């Protein structure tokens, strides 16, 4: 009889443990769902996205923009000749996909959804520089050494989103001197696309981190001068160049709006300004789609 009582007691403990495990699992899932829902603009948008097998937003983009992909299960997607893994966040799996400025207009398949890329026209800019500045671009050895540093800084990204709030413009009351996508001629010679934005401001003006993240590079480079890169997770980085002072160190975690440096004119520069860019999987992307927004609100 005693062994039957012991067995019944043990069975009761196992049932209690099972109930506790199920309650803990439900609580953990609810916490993940709450974390994910909070990233969206409103509950209804979050609910619609989370309840779908595949979600792509926005569904229509311009050349140079980006899209966010969410799936209910882990997948990889083929996009513009590259393969991207969807990584876990909340209760789903996500990836941010760059839309290169050269990508052909048209409709593309992304998992079980589609994205339409619309052609966009970009203006031309004529830039005048001194002979000394022009000569800087011929120092290919130093340029290549810096390129390797930058590629290393962008080679590893956190496998989750490091931001929560909306992205901010890194300079208050600055003057936009060069928008994203301009075709640039330097001293009358074609010098490529300007895949960032230039914001002019007085020397020493504080520069803010566009979003929370982790500093991966903070040092003086040859062409971009004092330069900072911040990882925001999931292959998304922001770049800040030509600074007069660097106020953060590699490995430092920063918050959105935190002062990370001061405006300057170091490197290949014609005056005090901030050269600012977003990189998604090593593809430069139009910064305008981020400001006062986030990939979850596109």
Choosing among 2.40.50, 1.50.10, 2.60.40, 3.20.20, the CATH entry for 54-118 is 2.60.40
Residues of the chain with CATH 2.60.40: 54-118
CA–CA dist 64, 189 (Å, integer): 23
Any idea which of 17-31, 88-102, 137-151, 207-221 has the lowest mean pLDDT?
Answer: 17-31
pLDDT of residue 58: 97
Q: What is the pTM of this model?
A: 0.88
Q: Are 95 and 234 in contact (CB under 8 A)?
A: yes
Q: What is the CATH topology of the domain spanning 124-297?
A: Glucose Permease (Domain IIA) (2.70.70)
Q: Taking the C-alpha atoms of 214, 219, 224 and 225 in order, what is their torsion angle to the nearest 10 degrees?
A: 140
**How far are the Cα atoms of 37, 91, 236, 295 from residue 53, in angstroms, in the given order?**
16, 12, 24, 18
Q: Which H helix or E strand runs over 88?
A: strand 87-89
Structure-token pair, residue 179: 């928008």
d(CA 261, CA 248): 7
Q: What is the mean pLDDT of residues 250-271?
A: 97
Rounded Cα–Cα distance for residues 185 and 123 (Å): 11
Which ranges in the chain are annotated with CATH 2.70.70.10? 124-297
| Nearest-angstrom CA–CA distance, 95 and 263 | 32
Q: What is the pLDDT of residues 56-109, one digit of tens each?
A: 999 999 999 999 999 999 999 999 999 999 999 999 999 999 999 999 999 999
Taking alpha carbons only, the member of 183, 208, 206, 181 closest to residue 195 is 181
For residue range 22-62, list pLDDT tens digits in order.
Answer: 777 767 878 899 999 999 999 999 999 999 999 999 999 99
């Amino acid at each position: 009889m005693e062994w039957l009582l012991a067995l019944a007691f043990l069975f009761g403990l196992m049932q209690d443990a099972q109930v506790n495990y199920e309650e803990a699992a439900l609580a953990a899932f609810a916490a993940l769902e709450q974390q994910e829902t909070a990233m969206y603009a409103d509950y209804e948008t979050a609910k619609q996205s989370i309840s779908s097998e595949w979600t792509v937003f926005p569904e229509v983009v311009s050349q140079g923009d980006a899209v966010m992909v969410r799936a209910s299960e882990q997948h990889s997607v083929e996009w513009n000749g590259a393969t991207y893994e969807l990584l876990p966040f909340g209760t789903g799996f996500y990836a941010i996909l760059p839309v290169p400025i050269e990508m052909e207009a048209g409709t593309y398949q992304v998992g079980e959804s589609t994205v339409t890329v619309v052609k966009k026209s970009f203006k031309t800019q004529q830039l005048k520089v001194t002979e000394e500045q022009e000569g800087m671009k011929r120092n290919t050895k130093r340029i290549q050494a810096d390129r390797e540093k930058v590629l290393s800084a962008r080679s590893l990204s956190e496998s989750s989103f490091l931001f929560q709030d909306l992205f901010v413009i890194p300079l208050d009351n600055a003057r936009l001197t060069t928008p994203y996508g301009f075709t640039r001629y330097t001293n009358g010679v074609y010098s490529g696309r300007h895949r960032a934005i230039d914001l002019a401001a007085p020397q020493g003006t504080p520069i803010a981190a566009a979003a929370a993240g982790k500093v991966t590079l903070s040092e003086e480079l040859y062409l971009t001068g004092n330069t900072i890169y911040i990882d925001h997770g999931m292959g998304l980085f922001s770049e800040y160049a030509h600074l007069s002072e660097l106020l953060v160190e590699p490995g430092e975690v920063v918050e959105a709006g935190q002062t990370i440096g001061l405006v300057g004119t170091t490197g290949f520069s014609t005056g005090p300004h901030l050269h600012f860019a977003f990189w998604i999987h090593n593809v430069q992307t139009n910064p305008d789609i981020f400001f006062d927004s986030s990939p979850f609100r596109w």
